[in-house]
Each structure stands twice: as structure tokens, then as C-alpha cells.
Amino acid sequence: MLSSFTTKLALKKAGIPSDVVDFSEKKREPNKLRKNPPADLDNENDSGWTSWMSVRSLPLTVQPWLTPPPAAVAKGRLPGIGDKAPVDKTGKLRVGGGKRVLLVFLRCVGCAFAQKTFINLRTMANRYGDALTCIAVSHASEQATQKWVSLLGGAWSVRVIVDEERAVYAAWGLGTSSMWYVLNPTTQVQGWKESGWLGEKVAGAIQRKEMNENKPVNTNNVEDEEDDGPLTTMGNKWQEAGAFAIDGTGTVIWGGKAARADDVMELEDGARILLA
């Protein structure tokens, strides 16, 4: 018989389990009592879906609405009138040295209010020429900023600084805003009136370029595969904006933080005070 001692011994020497030819019905042991229970196919499917549907897999036009990563440095105090301009430790922004500077911190690229602010600044630069140094700071990526500026007709004589890590913003006391700053009724009404929303065009251009180059969209200029936070390619809707006028001694003589997301600020006032 197959159940005899000699048969079992022969099967064991051959490396074959002794019950391989046992066709008698056995009560199946519950999975939870098994030492190595079989994988749960439903859990495997869920895991695959989770790994695919990550934050960074969302469209570029959605990313600016997500909570941004912290700025590279701690947020400083917002400079007031008569204060010396904050020191930018990154070295990207230098003021003073006899130059009269009109400085603007933009909202995210594609924003209609950022567009109006940038065009106003460009107008000031064209109107006053060498008498005024106009600088715009963007917290979107270099690629997105360049594409957005080109859609607006170019920077002309405005100097554009890319501060994707938002270190310069933080040094000047500009951090992330509250929901009311962006979603208040006044801003929403003004937003419906504006037509200069270029976010989809910028995002589309970036994605087409990356597809043509057959590589994934790079955003933060930091190669960190474990980073699963939102992309900063297009900037962020919650970043505070602002504008300042700095005289030749490096002293702030006009400006501050934008009151709301739709506040483009009166740059003409800043230019007039600088040139008085």
C-alpha cells in the first residue's frame, strides 16, 4: 500500500512528499492558520492601484492646488517701510549698490493676476529705462517660467529670477496663504472676469516637450525618487505675492504683501516714489 512505511521512505529519499499520491479528501486549513497563507489578490490589486495613483501622477494643472512642500528656509519678517532689504542667502537677489529697484514676487505661472502684475512691471521697465531696475521673482520651475514669459511676449528689460525652493520669498516674509486669501468672494469674482489663464498652455507645452524627449516630467531639479509630495513645476496657488520699491541704499521705501490673490498692487506708485 502507498501508505506503508517502505513506500513513505522511498518517496522521502526521492524528495517527493509522502502525500502527493494521497487522493483522500482532507479538510483545508484556514488561511489565517497557515504558516504561509496565499496572497490576497484583492490586496495586490489595491497595492498596484495605490502605487500607480500617486500625488505626482496627477495632472500638472492640478499640482498648484495641492499643499506645497516647506520653503528651503524659515520665513522671515515682512519688511516695512524704512527697513533694510532682507538678505538673500542664496545670492540670487542683490539690491542696493546705488540702484533703484522695483521688485515683484509673482503668484504661480498661468495665473491671470500674475500675468497682469508682470505686464505692469514690464511697462514700468520700458517707460523708465535705466533709471529703474525691474525684477520679477517666480517660484515655478525654470522651464515653466520661461514658457509663460514667452507666451506673454518676452521679459523685455525685466530681470526674471527663478526661486523654485521659495527661499527668496521666505526671506522677504512671504509664505503660504490661507484659503481665504485665494478663495474669498472678491478674488473669485475677479477671477471670472479675467481671461489670462495660461496654466493649461504652459503645462501642455512642458508635457509635449518631455514626451518628445522620452523622459518623465522633471520638476524640482532634485533627483529624489522617494519624494512623493506635489510637483512645483507650475508654482503654487497658495504662495503669497508681494511688491517692493528699494532705493539705492538698499532701504525699502514702498510696498508689502498683496492683500489677496487678485491684488496686483499699484506698481506705478512704487516707481513714482523711487524716482521722486
For residue 188, the one-letter residue type is Q
Read off φ and ψ for residue 160, nearest 5 degrees. Answer: -110, 125
Q: So what's the pLDDT on residue 56?
A: 84
**How buried is 184 (Cβ within 10 angstroms: 0-12 exposed, 13-18 middle, 19+ buried)?**
middle
Which pLDDT tens digit goes with each residue over 154-192?
999 999 999 999 999 999 999 999 999 999 999 999 999
What are the E-state strand segments in 46-111? 101-105
**Which whole-number Å values give the CA distances from 196 to 99, 118, 190, in the listed order?**
32, 12, 12
Block residue for cell numbers 520669498: 169
Q: Residue 67 is placed in which grid cell?
A: 499643499
Which pLDDT tens digit goes with each residue over 93-110?
999 999 999 999 999 998
Q: Among 243, 123, 260, 249, which Cα is nearest to 179's?
A: 260
Q: Among 239, 220, 236, which Cα is nearest to 228's?
A: 220
Question: pTM score, two decimals?
Answer: 0.77
Sign of the Cα pseudo-torsion (223, 229, 231, 236, in order): negative
Q: So what's the pLDDT on residue 31?
A: 47
Block residue for cell numbers 512623493: 228
Question: In angstroms, what is the C-alpha Rg of the chain?
Answer: 30
Enumerate residue ranges in the chain where pLDDT < 70.
Answer: 1-53, 214-228
Report d(CA 205, CA 215) in Å as an integer: 14
Q: So what's the pLDDT on residue 226?
A: 45
